Chains A and B, each alone.
Chain A
Amino acid sequence: MSENLKILIAGEGGQGVQTIAEIIAKAAFVGKLESLHIPNFGVEQRGGVSLAFLQISKSPIPYPKFLKADILAVLASRAVGRVEKYVGRQTKIINAIHLDTLLLERKIQTTSLNIAVLGNLAKFLSQFLSIEALEEQLHVKLADKPNYNENLNAFHLGQLLTEKDAPSHLGYYKRYLKPLVSQNNHIFFARFPYLCKGCGLCIERCPKNALSFSKVDLGVYGTPMPQVDLDKCIGCKICQITCPDCAIKVVKKQKIKKN
């Protein structure tokens, strides 16, 4: 690994992407290394994508931007599209998108997901930073918070993650985010969060009022996506035709209906 380590952490607003970037940057600074942290601000308060560009080096850092990251940590599926271009051949990927299920199994709240990723990052940073140094900064930053012990547990869990928990590839997410599919015997209904802008035209045009705004799923601008009630849906495809951005795909399973 080169003398200048370039790290990119990507997630959703509110996940604590900038927090862990700050902890690493400060640990490096205290350890008398050069460190640089550039947060990428956007509409993250509304649930947009949040990126942290981080560099650690033993010599002065010449330029704040970089073209390819050495380490890429991805915390949320929606961030993948924004960071794809920073992936080079040497890039080590930490794909923590589905880590929340493991955390819940261990009775750790998903709010500590970022600290688990920090724990996993620690093993890549060993050339520059010791685990103790990171733990010390973690203490400085978060000791006052009520869930500090939970965060510590997540930090130790993160160091032990395997390839299965946090894959080193971006998988399906390469071009399109995985569609949200709901289906029953008659209808296959796919929605693409990457394309949906949340205009609501499909909801208004649905003749059976089968569509409504979801309280969970978000589209590309962080706006609510429509969700379908398959019991009401007749597969007329009006939503698919109306959708300006091709974010809905409906397939009527005729073969099954004939039987």
Chain B
Amino acid sequence: MSEVLPSFPKCYKEKSWPSLFCPGCGHPIVLKMLGQVIDELAIAHKSLLALDIGCSLLAWDLFDVDTIQTHHGRTVPLAAGFKLAKPNGIIIAYMGDGGAYAIGLQSLLTSAHRDDKITVIVVNNTLYAMTGGQYAPTTLCDERTTTTPEGRNCQTAGIPFPGPETLSAMTTKNAYLARGSVLQPLVLKSYLKKALQHQIENRGFSFVEALSFCPLNWKTDAAGSIKFLEKMQNYFKVGEIKCPKISKS
């Protein structure tokens, strides 16, 4: 066998690897699946990847795809604006749960309500990872973070925020909403592919939430991370929340 090279997706920028993500982070798994989907759909030349503030911005320069960095939580309005200006372009808004469900929730809800033809990918790791693991809307009940040292009290702080379920109440039947997990990367990949196809065929709003690891702030090893993610999956149910039927005519 001649030179053996890593199995990177074609749209990866090889120079930028190894990435800046921590060992055991779930982000690169989501990005790898996204890269494979971009390859399979052959949309790298007309795509724009919009990154939010937080750990998601470390995906900067990892792709050989046009990339833009937005203010915290403002990725979705930027994506909507891009789509208005360039209806044939493909926009992928890539953000964390803090950006999507806390500071950027209003933008996300409005955009979903308007049924903008954009794709939003939210990586949910139950906390604000980049700033040191503070409590976020998605923090599980009784989960310890740096700002909830005795665990999140769900009686006073509310339940962990169910993103796609909330959006399903206020979107039309055209929207595609799903939740995947990095424990099943290929299933996640199929959701990402459906979401991007949804946008390519201009059918409506598409949204994928990916449950992901944060071993640094969970303070877990590989086995502990997988165990924690399985616990997360008990609350955040994995699957397609809204999948419009496609008539073949």
Contact = CB atoms under 8 A, between A and B. Distances in A.
A249 B221 contact: no
Contact size class for A?
20 to 34
Interface stretch (B18-26, B89-97, B133-141): B18-26
B235 interface: no
Contacts of B221: 200
Nearest to A251: B1
A246 B223 contact: no
Given A179-B4, A199-B215, A246-B32, A220 B18 contact: yes
B232 to A, nearest CB: 16
Interface string A167-186: 00000100110010100000
B222 A246 contact: no
B185 interface: yes
Given A197-B23, A242-B185, A244-B29, A190 B8 contact: no
Interface residues of B, number: 30
A200 B24 contact: yes
A201 B24 contact: yes
Nearest to B8: A246
Interface string B1-38: 10111111000001001110111111111001000000
Interface string B214-236: 01000001110110000000000
Contacts of B185: 241-242
A148 interface: no
Interface of B: 1, 3-8, 14, 17-19, 21-29, 32, 185-186, 213, 215, 221-223, 225-226
Nearest to B30: A244
Nearest to A181: B4
B170 to A, nearest CB: 34
Contact of B28 (A175, A221, A245): A245
A155 interface: no
The 4 closest A-B pairs by CB, nearest first: A199-B24, A244-B28, A197-B23, A200-B222
Nearest to B189: A241
Contacts of B14: 175
B21 A244 contact: yes
A96 to B, nearest CB: 23
- B interface secondary structure, majority: loop
A246 B6 contact: yes
A203 B26 CA distance: 15
A187 to B, nearest CB: 13
Contact of B222 (A172, A204, A220): A204
A179 B225 CA distance: 28
Contacts of A194: 18
A179 B32 CA distance: 20
Given A190-B4, A197-B23, A241-B185, A204 B226 contact: yes
A223 interface: yes
Given A197-B22, A241-B185, A246-B32, 12 more contacts: A176-B6, A195-B17, A199-B215, A200-B221, A201-B213, A204-B222, A220-B18, A240-B7, A242-B185, A244-B19, A245-B17, A249-B6
Which of A181, A204, A245, A249 is most buried by chain B, counting CB atoms within 10 A of its CB? A245
Contacts of B27: 244
